[in-house]
Amino acid sequence: MKIERVILTNFRQYFGEQRIQCSLDAQRNVTVFHGVNGAGKTSFFLALNWCLYGEGANNIGQIISKEAVRQAAVNDTVMTKVVVVFIHEGQRYTASRQLKGIKQSDGGVQEQPDIEFLLMQTRRDGQAIRINNPIGKMNAIMPANVRTYFFFDGEKIENFARPEAADEVRFAVYQVLNLEVLTRARDHLSIVARELRSQLKNLVSGELKDLLAQDETARQREKDLQQRQQDLKAELAAADRHIAEINQQLRELESVQALQTSTISIHKRWKPARMRIKG
């Protein structure tokens, strides 16, 4: 999934229609958003989440531009809309979500409950077709339950480096790459192969039967070793978490010790002064 462009209309600070083009160049393929606090970086991030998943904006108050509401007349309809054009597996999609509201006499806006979400796919001939199940399709492209590992605020990237986050990140990659289908197929083929080997043992004799028995023993040995490897990895991950906790405690202890040293130094410097005052 590669975002091509984003169009925001009356979304928070983004008054009117604002277009953002992202780089799709093979070499210079990183788009950086830079600005001072309050410039709209977080609002832009929220707009993406809101458009694609309908989330992220419900807990921050009004998302319809206050300037758009201010300029509207009482009882006028005010709309906010976000459009995200992206490419996935060679296909271009256009996702859009909009919310309407009615300006009230007190200057506020009464948002309407019906929020429209559309997902269009542009065919190679240029014709756009509407996806009948946009939420399902969007979750097939980028599952909502793992999107935070691929679609996140860059300032919080250090959270993914925590030892305890390894399994969560691994599961996210597993979901996005649709490895569940391959895993089920592998497990099913293993069961079928085991049943066929069992049937073959009843049909043969002599050296071939002995070889089949040796093969079964070797496979069981391999299975035991793999299980042992998984157990060791789990123990190693637990050890890493324990080490991280100890390091954190040591850092806190060092801070306390530094504070104690500073306090003792201050007391030593002030001791002569106190003696002179008492004298």
DSSP structure string for 103-166: E-TTS-EEE-S--EEEEEEE-TTS-EEE-SSHHHHHHHHS-TTTGGGTS--GGGGGGGGSGGGH
Highest mean pLDDT pick, 21-25, 166-170, 182-186: 21-25
Token pair in block for residue 18: 């604002």
Alpha carbons 101 and 121: distance in angstroms, whole number = 28
- Does residue 204 share a domain with residue 116? no
Question: Do 130 and 122 touch, CB atoms closer than 8 A?
Answer: no
Section 6-17 average pLDDT: 93
Alpha carbons 237 and 243: distance in angstroms, whole number = 10
What is the DSSP-derived secondary structure letter of residue 62?
Answer: -
Report CA dihedral (9, 11, 12, 15) to the nearest 10 degrees.
0
- Does residue 137 share a domain with residue 207? no
What is the DSSP-derived secondary structure letter of residue 63?
Answer: -
68: domain CATH number is: 3.40.50.300
Specify the number of domains making up the chain: 2
Beta strands in the chain (DSSP E): 2-11, 14-21, 77-88, 91-103, 109-111, 116-122, 128-130
pLDDT tens-digit map of 113-150:
777 889 999 888 888 899 998 988 888 888 777 777 67
- Does residue 137 share a domain with residue 9? yes
Q: Is residue 220 included in any domain, yes or no?
A: yes
pLDDT at 213: 79
Q: Is residue 212 included in any domain, yes or no?
A: yes
Q: Is residue 92 included in any domain, yes or no?
A: yes
Nearest 5°: the CA angle 129, 134, 137 is: 100
Strand 14-21 versus strand 128-130 pairing type: unpaired
**pTM listed for this prediction:** 0.59
252-259 long-range CB contacts below 8 Å, 24 or more apart? none
Domain coverage including residue 222: 178-270
Percent of the chain with pLDDT over 70: 81
Token pair in block for residue 187: 């497990």
- 122 or 248: which leads in pLDDT: 122
Question: Do 181 and 128 touch, CB atoms closer than 8 A?
Answer: no
Alpha carbons 252 and 155: distance in angstroms, whole number = 23
pLDDT tens-digit map of 120-130:
998 888 888 99
- Does residue 9 share a domain with residue 134? yes
For residue 94, give the nearest of 137, 144, 140, 30 by alpha carbon: 137
Mark 178-204 as b/e (b = at least 16 C-beta within 10 Å): eeeeeeeeeeeeeeeeeeeeeeeeeee
- Does residue 96 share a domain with residue 182? no
Section 185-199 average pLDDT: 80
- Does residue 200 share a domain with residue 95? no
Section 173-184 average pLDDT: 68
- 172 or 54: which leads in pLDDT: 54
Mean pLDDT taken over the chain: 80
pLDDT at 208: 77
Alpha carbons 27 and 253: distance in angstroms, whole number = 47
pLDDT at 81: 94
Q: Is residue 77 included in any domain, yes or no?
A: yes
Alpha carbons 73 and 12: distance in angstroms, whole number = 19
CA within 13 Å, CB half, 250: 6
- Does residue 209 share a domain with residue 113? no
Q: Is residue 278's pLDDT more than 60?
A: no
- Does residue 130 share a domain with residue 195? no
